[in-house]
């Protein structure tokens, strides 16, 4: 083995195994990038290799995990190779989780958690990380503690967030099914409140889910002049459901922002915004305080000029009504 200079003393010494290993990683990365046709076959070989992790020493597994993390970070292989870590024997003996810790540390060190998250989502691995643990330990709390204790809070937070997103999607799907069956609002509200307690979802998040479910439960007319009438009729029917989850001012404001976003993203609803807001105001879903707050400084940038112009006369009416109310109170006093 050739000697290399010590950067501090200038003396010649044998290079460490780590330095040689890093050089090999660099050389390998250059080769795989140059010969693109090798990538697919190499990825398949990595998958097979990971299935036999028990045949390696702990030191060898750690080095392989670090290398795999670097390859993932550089895009030489896709995150689909992680499926090999879900092998029952590897999971049962804790090899998979320990390997994943080293792999993610290496990957995040090369990139960042956002890059890791994007790669996991791309191949559908974002919702499968719990499978690194046996069924009896496959919980968000156990996953969170394991990776946080290992110094990977980013992965812990990511998994918790993914689980929350999954729970919300399931909840919205169930809500739409209940609506299509014609379940009573009372039964739906009871179900939703139970889910809120179970999954620790806030009222602000829930009113967003309810709004999305309500708007997804009907096929909208493609003609702008007809969709407004259809929307008013539909929302009038479901206003009691929305009212059940707007008991706080912040929830009302959240709903207003969701309405603004929806009307902006669905061009046929651009002219329906004001009528929807007025309907929900009359149905006691939205208060004048929330509407004025939205109008003055809490609105989104999306379609701002169009929606503010639509609401101008109604807001002026609200302000005048408020002033008249205050004047009446002063006269009474």
Residue 182 phi/psi, 5-degree rounding, is 80, 25
- Does the pTM of the predicted model rise above 0.75? no
User: What number does CATH give the domain 218-327?
Assistant: 1.25.40.180
Mean pLDDT of the chain: 86
Q: How far apart are CA 286 and CA 313, in angstroms?
A: 17
Contact yes or no for 211/262 (Cβ under 8 A):
yes
pLDDT number for residue 5: 40
Q: How far apart are CA 296 and CA 313, in angstroms?
A: 14
Contact yes or no for 269/262 (Cβ under 8 A):
yes
pLDDT above 70: residue 274: yes
Task: Give the residue-averaged pLDDT of 278-294.
Answer: 96
Distances (CA, A) of 314 to 218, 273, 311: 28, 12, 5
Give residue-wise pLDDT tens across range 133-186: 999 998 888 999 999 999 999 999 998 888 878 888 888 899 999 998 989 999
pLDDT number for residue 18: 45
Give residue-wise pLDDT tens across range 28-50: 666 666 666 666 778 888 899 99
| Helices 273-282, 249-265: crossing angle, 10 deg rounding | 150
Which helix (H) or strand (E) element contains residue 5? strand 4-5
pLDDT number for residue 29: 62
- Close Cβ partners of 3 (under 8 Å, ≥ 6 residues apart): 12, 13, 14, 15
Q: How far apart are CA 331 and CA 333, in angstroms?
A: 5
Task: Give the residue-averaged pLDDT of 204-219.
Answer: 92
Longest Cα pair distance anywhere in the chain, in angstroms?
Answer: 99
Q: How far apart are CA 258 and CA 133, in angstroms?
A: 38
Instruction: Please report, for the chain, the start and end positions of each structural domain, with discontinuous segments joined by +.
Output: 16-133, 218-327
Task: Give the residue-averaged pLDDT of 60-79.
Answer: 90
Confidence of residue 316 (pLDDT cuts 50, 70, 90): very high
> Which tops the pLDDT comparison, 304 or 12?
304
- Which residue matches tokens 């109604």? 314
């Amino acid at each position: 083995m050739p000697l290399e200079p010590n950067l501090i003393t200038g003396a010649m010494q044998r290079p460490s195994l780590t330095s040689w290993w890093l050089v090999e990683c660099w050389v390998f990365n250059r080769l795989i990038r140059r010969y693109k046709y090798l990538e697919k076959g190499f990825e398949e070989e990595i998958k097979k290799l990971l299935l036999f992790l028990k045949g390696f020493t702990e030191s060898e597994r750690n080095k392989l995990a670090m290398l795999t993390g670097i390859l993932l970070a550089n895009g030489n292989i896709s995150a689909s190779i992680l499926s090999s870590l879900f092998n029952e024997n590897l999971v049962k003996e804790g090899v998979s989780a320990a390997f994943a810790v080293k792999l993610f540390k290496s990957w995040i060190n090369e990139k960042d958690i956002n890059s890791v998250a994007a790669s996991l989502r791309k191949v559908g691995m974002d919702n499968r990380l719990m499978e690194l643990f046996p069924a009896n330990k496959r919980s968000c709390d156990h996953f969170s503690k394991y990776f946080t204790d290992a110094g990977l809070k980013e992965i812990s937070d990511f998994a918790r967030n993914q689980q929350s997103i999954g729970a919300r999607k399931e909840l919205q799907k169930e809500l739409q099914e209940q609506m299509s069956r014609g379940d009573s609002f009372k039964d739906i509200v009871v179900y939703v409140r139970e889910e809120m307690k179970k999954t620790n979802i806030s009222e602000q998040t829930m009113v967003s889910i309810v709004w999305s479910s309500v708007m997804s439960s009907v096929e909208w007319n493609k003609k702008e002049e007809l969709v407004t009438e259809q929307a008013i009729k539909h929302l009038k029917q479901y206003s009691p459901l929305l009212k059940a989850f707007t008991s706080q001012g912040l929830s009302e404001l959240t709903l207003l922002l969701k309405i603004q976003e929806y009307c902006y993203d669905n061009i046929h609803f651009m002219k329906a915004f004001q009528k929807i807001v007025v309907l929900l105001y009359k149905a006691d879903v939205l208060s004048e305080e929330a509407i004025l707050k939205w109008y003055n400084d809490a609105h989104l940038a999306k379609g701002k000029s169009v929606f503010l112009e639509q609401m101008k006369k109604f807001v002026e009416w609200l302000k005048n009504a408020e002033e008249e109310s205050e004047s009446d109170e002063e006269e009474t006093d």
